Amino acid sequence: MLLLNTCLLCLSVSAFAQNNTPKSVSAPVVEPDTSKVSLLQPVKVKDTSKSGAVEYLTLQQCIDYAIQHQPGVNIALINVDVAKTTNLINLSGALPQVNASGNLVHYLQQSSGSAVIDSGTTTTATTTGPKYTFVPGVSVTQTIFNPSLLYAYKSSALYVKQAEQATDSTKIFLVSSVSKTFYTLLNNLEQINVLKEDTAQFGKSLRDAYHQYKGGIVDETDYEQAEITMNNTMAQLKQANENVVPQYAALKKLMGYPVDKQFNVVFDTLEMMKGIHIDTAQQLQFEKRIEFQILNTSKSLQDQLVNYYRYSFLPTASAFYNYNRNFQNDHLSDLFSSSYPTSQVGVSLTIPIFTGFSRLNNLHKAKLQRQILDWSETDLKSQINTEYTSALANYKSNYYNLQLLQKNVTLSKRVYFVVTLQYRQGIVPYLNVITAQSNLITSEINYLNALFQVLSNKIDLQKAMGNITY
């Protein structure tokens, strides 16, 4: 009966290792192999969905998809068009302004005068104008000079540049976030593959321990310890599989990927290992950071505002042309029988003499705001330098840690192999096997964590140096 229970347990472990990937996520499943292989070797990936139509995306494809479909990026692109349209609105005053008007008037009561009749002996009251008038007209105004239009013209390109830089900033943040989330997901999927392999190995160890126990070679506790190790590994595997769902959801959100569709992540092992290196001898250049570029554009816009208030005392000049046609009659039906046209052309000049010191106060305010931007630049440089030094230190330390952990994986595999042979020959107790197995799992998981941590550190360092491309 105990042998039957052991076989059933092994079968359940094998089935769990094959079917524990959530269906809704359709994560890539590495076909298990009972032999130990090096971590992150090229593997065969198969689709676990029923339809077989699940899309496979690399990191670059995820980034490209996010650039096109992420709501934040599309909003930023729309804001560029908004800035261009706003400039057209602000500059519309430079074009001729044409207006048409018309006034229809019915005089209910008119002023009256007196007229002399028959050599001045008789007087009678007379009205001074017709009862009905209609005066249509057209007016054309052309601005010759206006300080507001001059400011709008000089700042228009800067506003568009500012909107484009905000779009670039959004894309850089998106590339960084998608890359780090992709690595987090891939790390979890690789850990699942490692735990599946170890589960298969522990199943074999569990069977060996049982047979040795039945043969009287080892104590019953060896078999129980093997079962404890198996249960712990299965719990780790279950937790890793459950983590896949929210990690895919986080990546979908960043990409703007439809929630009702599924995709798998894939990677090129050689390219990823090549891409782990970065030249740490590069010097930090503040001008390459998008935040620094945006601040410089804001300073240029503030300079234009200072100049606007400085020269706002200049007069506003415009040319105008007016044409009116006066229709009038005592009878409404005959209103349009006769007309009296008039037209005029001229130049209008407006000079601000006293505005309650508003120009001087606005100029002082604009200069103070310019000083704030200067101090903001000093603070931004300090922040960028702190971010750069932290990212560089994290990359160097984790890269060194990765090299040591890679050696640990090799040593753990060798120790596990030797201890397993010694246990089968009855040289060492089963506790040594469990310790070697635990050390092997820990070293493999730690190596994967370190590898993807270094990749994330590289993204942080590239972002700090302003070297992220999209």
If you average pLDDT over each of 192-206, 265-279, 291-305, which comes out highest?
291-305
CA trace torsion 129, 135, 140, 145 (10° rounding): 40
- Is the pLDDT assigned to residue 232 strictly greater than 90? no
Q: What are the CA-CA distances from residue 108 to residues 42, 133, 186, 272 (Å)? A: 97, 12, 88, 91
* 348 and 272 fall within a common domain: no
- Is the pLDDT assigned to residue 30 strictly greater than 60? no
* 169 and 274 fall within a common domain: yes
Confidence of residue 69 (pLDDT cuts 50, 70, 90): very high
Residue burial 151-169, b: 16+ Cβ < 10 Å; e: rest: bbeebbebbbbbbbbbbeb
Higher pLDDT, 301 or 213: 301
Could you give the percent of the chain with pLDDT greater than 90? Answer: 59
Higher pLDDT, 272 or 91: 91
405: in domain: yes
Domain boundaries, position 431:
2-86+152-303+359-465
CA proximity to 97, closest of 131, 146, 142: 142
What are the DSSP calls for 373-413, one per residue? Answer: HHHHHHHHHHHHHHHHHHHHHHHHHHHHHHHHHHHHHHHHH
Higher pLDDT, 203 or 185: 185
Amino acid (1-letter code) at residue 297: T
User: How far out from the chain centre does Cα 5 lie?
Assistant: 54
- Is the pLDDT assigned to residue 41 strictly greater than 60? no
Instruction: Please state, in angstroms and rounded to a whole number, the distance separating the CA atoms of residues 345 and 140.
Output: 9
* 242 and 162 fall within a common domain: yes
pLDDT given for residue 38 in this prediction: 42
pLDDT given for residue 113 in this prediction: 58
Convert the pLDDT of each residue in 338-390 to its tens digit: 889 999 999 999 999 998 999 999 999 999 999 999 999 999 999 999 999 99
Indicate the helix (H) or strand (E) that contains 283: none
Mean pLDDT of 94-103: 95
Could you give the percent of the chain with pLDDT greater than 70? Answer: 82
CA proximity to 294, closest of 168, 154, 420, 148: 168
* 405 and 454 fall within a common domain: yes
242: in domain: yes
Paired sense of beta strands 263-265 and 55-57, if any: parallel
From 25-29, 273-277, 380-384, 436-440, the region with the lowest mean pLDDT: 25-29
* 22 and 130 fall within a common domain: no
Domain holding 321: CATH number? 2.20.200
pLDDT given for residue 459 in this prediction: 95
* 417 and 349 fall within a common domain: no
pLDDT given for residue 202 in this prediction: 75
- Is the pLDDT assigned to residue 239 strictly greater than 60? yes
Higher pLDDT, 119 or 282: 282
pLDDT given for residue 11 in this prediction: 34
**Burial grade of 47 (CB within 10 A; 0-12, 13-18, 19 or more):** middle
* 22 and 166 fall within a common domain: yes
102: in domain: yes
Neighbours of 249 (CB within 10 A): 14
pLDDT given for residue 87 in this prediction: 96
12: in domain: yes
pLDDT given for residue 118 in this prediction: 54
* 247 and 163 fall within a common domain: yes
pLDDT given for residue 119 in this prediction: 54
Neighbours of 222 (CB within 10 A): 22
pLDDT given for residue 1 in this prediction: 35
Confidence of residue 53 (pLDDT cuts 50, 70, 90): low
* 221 and 107 fall within a common domain: no
From 33-47, 166-180, 314-328, the region with the lowest mean pLDDT: 33-47
pLDDT given for residue 12 in this prediction: 36
Question: Phi and psi (nearest 5°) for 159?
Answer: -65, -40
pLDDT given for residue 151 in this prediction: 95
Higher pLDDT, 271 or 72: 72
108: in domain: yes
91: in domain: no
309: in domain: no
pLDDT given for residue 320 in this prediction: 95
pLDDT given for residue 19 in this prediction: 37
Task: Report the mean per-residue pLDDT for the chain.
Answer: 84
Mean pLDDT of 306-328: 94
Confidence of residue 269 (pLDDT cuts 50, 70, 90): confident
Convert the pLDDT of each residue in 403-454 to its tens digit: 999 999 999 999 989 998 887 787 887 788 888 888 988 999 999 999 999 9
Residues near 134 by Cβ (< 8 Å), separated by ≥ 6?
102, 103, 104, 105, 326, 327, 328, 335, 336
* 397 and 385 fall within a common domain: yes
User: Into how many domains does the chain fold?
Assistant: 2
Residue burial 233-243, b: 16+ Cβ < 10 Å; e: rest: bbebbeebbeb
* 396 and 447 fall within a common domain: yes
- Is the pLDDT assigned to residue 114 strictly greater than 70? no
Q: What sign results for the dihedral spanned by CA atoms 80, 85, 86, 88? A: positive
- Is the pLDDT assigned to residue 115 strictly greater than 80? no
Domain holding 379: CATH number? 1.20.1600.10
Higher pLDDT, 140 or 31: 140
* 448 and 351 fall within a common domain: no
Mean pLDDT of 274-296: 92
Confidence of residue 8 (pLDDT cuts 50, 70, 90): very low
310: in domain: no
Mean pLDDT of 91-109: 93
3-state DSSP assignment of residue 301: helix
